[in-house]
């Protein structure tokens, strides 16, 4: 693949880092004890259902980063999050909770909104976001029903896909305690709205529809929309 190398963009708003050409992909593998993922058609624009991407990484690197595990978007699908009529007879079948044995914490609530950050190890704006923005936002929104996922696209060099050791480096340096992934096939790059790192995307996990896509370090408006997505209709 031919990559377009562009210098880092440093602005007062810490916009982001230039990205390379992107590729797409899709996975349809299911997860035991997880409701069936919404059917297509799928898309990568606001209002469309995000494809069932499958990645590899750490569900929580602060607890375990000895080996990567499969992570896919269906893990976070939460269709009954705000359904007052939903009343499973057996608590173990409550799909609003992660199933027993889940690497995300069996019996804990699934998120109502997911914020995906696509980053690169070489990107200064990504590092700034990971160090100064995401920790405080995760601390704020996790108890409310928000979850984060970081996808590390590039390793130290432009256009060179991140490997497991790069993810260990990233999650260690920034004390990442939310799902963190790598994917040499760059499936999530299809969600970029511009060739800029970081890219941030809000997904409503009740429907798995894309609510917002933002190029660069998110503005206050992005987090206001994330909070509104958690709150629901």
Q: What mean pLDDT comes out for the span 182-210?
A: 94
Question: Which H or E element spans position 105?
Answer: none
Is the pLDDT assigned to residue 202 strictly greater than 90? yes
Q: Quote the pLDDT of residue 18.
A: 57
Tell me the β-bridge partners of 196. 18
Task: Give residue-wise pLDDT tens across range 12-25.
Answer: 334 567 544 333 33
Query: How many whole angstroms separate alpha carbon 145 and alpha carbon 122?
Result: 31
pLDDT above 90 coverage of the chain, percent: 75
Residues 6+ apart with CB under 8 A from 83: none
Please compute, for residue 196, the number of CA atoms within 13 A of its CA located in the half-sphere on the CB side.
Answer: 17
Q: What's the mean pLDDT when you consider all of the chain?
A: 87
Is the pLDDT assigned to residue 51 strictly greater than 90? yes
**Using CB atoms within 10 A of its CB, is residue 52 exposed (0-12), middle (13-18) or buried (19+)?**
buried
Q: Which residue has the higher pLDDT, 85 or 11?
A: 85
How would CATH label the architecture of 16-231? 3-Layer(aba) Sandwich (3.40)
Is the pLDDT assigned to residue 27 strictly greater than 70? no
pLDDT band at 193 (very low <50, low <70, confident <90, very high): confident
Query: How many whole angstroms separate alpha carbon 34 and alpha carbon 88?
Result: 14
């Amino acid at each position: 693949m031919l990559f377009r190398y562009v210098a880092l963009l440093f602005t007062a708003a810490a916009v982001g880092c230039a990205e390379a050409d992107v590729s797409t992909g899709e996975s349809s593998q299911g997860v035991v004890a997880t409701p069936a993922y919404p059917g297509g058609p799928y898309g990568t624009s606001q209002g469309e259902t995000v494809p069932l991407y499958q990645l590899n990484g750490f569900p929580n690197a602060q607890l375990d980063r000895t080996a990567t595990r499969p992570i896919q978007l269906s893990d976070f699908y939460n269709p009954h999050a705000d359904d007052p009529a939903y009343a499973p007879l057996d608590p173990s079948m409550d799909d609003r909770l992660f199933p027993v044995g889940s690497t995300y914490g069996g019996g804990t609530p699934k998120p109502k909104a997911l914020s995906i950050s696509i980053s690169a190890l070489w990107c200064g704006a990504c590092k700034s976001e990971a160090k100064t923005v995401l920790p405080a936002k995760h601390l704020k929104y996790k108890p409310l029903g928000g979850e984060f996922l970081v996808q590390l696209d590039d390793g130290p060099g432009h256009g060179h896909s991140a490997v497991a050791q790069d993810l260990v480096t990233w999650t260690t340096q920034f004390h990442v305690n939310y799902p963190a992934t790598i994917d040499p096939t760059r499936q999530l790059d299809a969600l970029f709205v511009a060739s800029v790192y970081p890219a941030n995307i809000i997904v409503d996990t009740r429907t798995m529809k894309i609510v917002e896509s933002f190029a660069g370090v998110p503005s206050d408006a992005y987090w206001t929309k994330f909070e509104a997505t958690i709150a629901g209709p």
